[in-house]
Structure 1
Amino acid sequence: MARNKLSETRIRTLPAGIHSDGDGLFLRVRKGGSRQWFFIYRRGTDRKEIGLGGYGQGTAPVSLALAREKADAIRDRLARGEDLIRRRTFSEVMEDVIAVKTAGFRNEKHKAQWRMTLDKYAAPLHAKPIADITRDDIVETLKPIWTEIPETADRTRMRIAAVLDHAKARGLYAGDNPADWRGGLKELLPARQKLSRGHHAAVGYKDLPAVIARLRASTGVSARAVEFAALTAARSGEVRGAVRSEFDLDQAIWTVPAERMKAGREHRVPLSDRAIEIVKAAIQRSTCDLIFEGGIAGRGISDTAMVKALRAAGAGDATLHGLRSSFRDWAGDETHYPRDLIETALAHVLKDKTEAAYRRSDALAKRRALMEEWEKYCTPANKEA
């Protein structure tokens, strides 16, 4: 077969597309301008593709001459009948990714979440050779959970994409990442307007008292956990992992340790009367140290159970995280508390260095007044029917 069809000069002017240098060596030019070398060969009816690196990219760019050397080495091995690619499965590469990604995590819970989502929700991909995974495989994997648990589904998609990116970097996968949202999934799965990070669907704060009333009408643990999350403006993970030793009910304070906080800093939460009432009842019911014990003894309530309770209370497609937005909107629109105090109540790290310098304490007393007003606002009896 003809070889050496390309030249350095021609490469710089090639349009987007796939261009052959001959005898199995190709250069893929993307619309954004990036260029990647790959080698294609066949064994029987199987078409196989090996990534050879990026042209003029990264810390080890592959020139035309080097790409040809790599291609010659592959041709020699093929001539000797060697199997060039061991068919590594998704689960094998997944284990490598989990090890790399979680090595720097301080929070053991975050490590467990990475493994859980990939172990449970990406299970249909586990046994598949990673080089063979298609966009249709991704769609079929995500469809059962895409509308049922949208936040978890999108996190699963992003983690699957991370596994495939890792495989691409090692030459185990070639082509576009099939788990990339803009790469085609947006045409195959329902719109995810409410799934974008930082934009969680929320109950309008004026509608929240009605939702709270329906939550209080339920006797389930999940409904109590959601109400407690709403009243404390806490993250759902902080609520689900809460244990008895974190609570000083005499002082009406919940202290969440640094290792359970997103920012890695201890956070004190002043508890309103209703929040204390919920905790006391939950402690009496729980058979373990966890405050909100789920249906399985010794295990906390699940995120899914809390979402279902919230939706059953008439919250539409609102998310648990959206309850924090409800609180933030109410505090900003309906009160005169300063912004930094409201952000502290949400356990946000103040980005403005000057503002942060003045806020050296956690202003517990002032935040207690804020949270008591919030409980009063949320209490259905205080709202007109």
Structure 2
Amino acid sequence: MSKSLHRLTVKQIEATTPGSALADGGGLLYRSTARGAGKWSFKFVSPDLDYRAEQAAKGSNSFQRAMGLGAFPSITLAAARDKAAAARGLLAKGVDPIEADRRAQASARQRGAELARAASDQAMTFGRYADEHFLPYALTGFSNAAHIQQWQATFATHAATLREKPLAEITREDILAVLHPIWTTKGVTASRSRQRIERLFAHAIQNGRYRGDNPASWRQFDATLPSPKTLVRHHPAVPHDKLADFVAAVRAKQADSMAALMLEWITLAACRTGEARFATWDEIDLERRVWAVPAGRMKMRRDHVVPITARMAEILAEAKIRRHDVKPTDYVFSSPKGKPLTEMAALMLMRRMEPYKDYTAHGLRATFKGWAATATDFPRELIEEQLAHQLGAVERAYMRQSAYERRRPMMEAWAALCAGATRAGDMGDDLVTDGDEGTA
């Protein structure tokens, strides 16, 4: 055996004074840390070009490195020699043993991550991804409870057969199995379901949860399913010549129905149901006679101000009488427990009114627009602004200067029509359409 290797004995190592260093030869070193205990290391000159380049970039000409081999006595002299021999074998091949160990560890970590990801993908079902990841993202900013419910129903009901399947394993055929049975019988539901499922997979692809083409995109089915029909659906609207009778019927139910009060408010304000349901007392300014709806509750995401007419003020007074100790944050139209009325409260009330069972609360906005556009001379931009519709740039600039006071005569005229006035004189002789009532 060469004298340059295996110079040490176990007895020498055990007897080494703490702080001393011994060489076994061939780069294997032992440093004593305590009586009978110490650490092994292997010193060598690195052949790795990347390491040499890093050292040169630091201004160092030294390419020597020390590789830890473990602690004695856990790592015996024989075991340390075996490790040193393996390192010398790598060096003979031009491989830095530290870099080889680093790459092996990195490869093991990558493999472990891949296995963990595969297990996670297997555990991440379509239903879990929809409920925990996609819907919280997609429904952010939704203010219409009915729309939220429809989106949730897509993934809970219409795509129920997909819920327990691993998301990563779902194919175009799985999606087709959901769509095909309802494609021709429930066309709108099927088309919207496909679009929402497509959005889910687009979200999953971008977030690394699904690999491959989107299995719900229309191009996957355009040669299999007939093109979806575009259906224009309008909310049935009470004709404005029947409006007074309708309002009278609603008022007849107000003695014991908060929903009836809200329904007349919706009619008089020409607002959306959700805007009325969640109205709070701090949005009401009776001194200025305005209702300020915050942007967060508006479809167009901008603040909206509604003039409060005399009859709307009466409704507010009646609503306040029915609730004790009203606080600013309380809902104007609330249940006995102080909660907002349900999304269906106004609609169900109309369905129980036989002559009006086929109409909808949202359709009252169309009633207002039809009356204002065809039976009055009020400017179109005033009508659209009252409905909180998106205006063109020129109209928006115009409305910023005119604001809600210019709409007040129109809304008082509308309130008069609701109360039974049929002639311009009954509504007031000055149905001003574009005058000087003041600005805000």
- The offset of 1:247, in angstroms, is 0.8
- The runs of 5 or more residues in structure 2 that have no matched partner are 1-117, 424-440
Partner secondary structure for residue 238 of structure 2: coil
Distance change (3 Å), C-alpha of 1:323 and 1:136: farther
Letter in 1 for 2:410: L
Query: 1:355 Cα deviation (Å)?
Result: 2.9
The answer (yes or no) to whether the contact 1:222–1:306 under 8 Å persists in 2 is: yes
Which of residues 375, 390, 400 is equivalent to 1:334?
A: 375
For residues 364 and 96 of structure 1, do their structure 2 counterparts lie closer, same or farther at Cα, with a shift above 3 Å needed?
A: same
Give the direction of change, closer, same or farther, for the CA distance of 1:372–1:140 in structure 2 (3 Å limit). Answer: farther
Contact 1:118 1:160 in 2 (8 A): no
* Alignment of 1:250 onto 2:250: no
Displacement of 1:261: 2.0
Alignment of structure 1 residues 204-219 onto 2, 5 Å: 204-219=239-254
**Inter-partner Cα distance in structure 1 for 2:320 and 2:192:** 32
SS for the counterpart of 1:255 is strand
In the alignment of these two chains, the number of paired residues is 283
Give the AA of the match of 2:403.
A
Cα distance between partner residues in 1 of 2:268 and 2:341: 18
Deviates more, 1:299-308 or 1:91-100: 91-100
SS of equivalent to 1:242: coil
Equivalent residue for 1:322, pick from 351, 363, 376: 363
SS of the residue 2:302 aligns to: coil
Q: 1:97 offset after TM fit, Å?
A: 1.6
Distance 2:176 2:239 in 1: 37
Structure 1 residues 123 and 176, CA gap change in structure 2 (3 angstroms)? closer
> What TM-score does the superposition give when structure 1 sets the normalisation length?
0.60
Seen in structure 2, the aligned counterparts of structure 1 residues 250 and 356 have a Cα distance that, compared at 3 Å, is closer
Is contact 1:165–1:177 with CA below 8 Å preserved after alignment? Answer: no
Whichever residue aligns with residue 345 of structure 1, its letter is Q
CA 1:317/1:193 → structure 2, altered by over 3 Å: closer, same or farther? farther
Q: C-alpha separation between the residues in 1 aligned to 2:191 and 2:351?
A: 19
Question: What root-mean-square deviation, in Å, do the aligned CA atoms of Structure 1 and Structure 2 show?
Answer: 4.2
* Structure 1 residues 139 and 233: CA distance shift in structure 2, 3 A: farther
Partner of 1:270: 307
Q: Is the 8 A contact 2:180 2:225 kept in 1?
A: no
Partner of 2:64: none
Deviation at 1:215, TM superposition (A): 1.4
Query: Which region of structure 1 is more displaced relative to structure 2, 309-318 or 217-226?
Result: 309-318
Structure whose alpha-carbon radius of gyration is higher: 2
1:1-385 mapped onto 2 (5 Å cutoff)? 86=122, 88-94=124-130, 95-102=132-139, 105=141, 109=143, 116-119=149-152, 122-124=155-157, 125=160, 127-129=163-165, 131=170, 159=196, 162-163=199-200, 166=203, 170-171=210-211, 175-176=215-216, 195=233, 199-219=234-254, 220-286=257-323, 289-294=330-335, 297-313=337-353, 314-351=355-392, 353-380=393-420
The alignment's TM-score, normalised by the length of structure 2, stands at 0.53
5+ long unaligned stretches in structure 1: 1-81
Higher RCO (C-alpha 8 Å, min separation 6): 1
Q: Cα distance, 1:286 vs. partner?
A: 3.8
* 2:320 alignment partner, SS class: helix
1:268 CA displacement: 1.5
Deviates most, 327-336 or 310-319: 310-319
Q: Deviations over 1:93-133 (max 9, x none)?
A: 21322243245x3x7x46x7766555567534384326386
Q: Indicate conservation of the 8 Å contact 1:222/1:305, yes or no.
A: yes
**C-alpha distance after superposition, 1:280-335 (max 9, x if no partner):** 2112224660011136x131011112111123333344333221111111001011
8 A contact 2:365–2:387 mirrored in 1 = yes
CA 1:154–1:252 in 2, change beyond 3 Å: closer, same or farther? farther
CA distance, structure 1, for counterparts of residue 191 and residue 287 of structure 2: 41
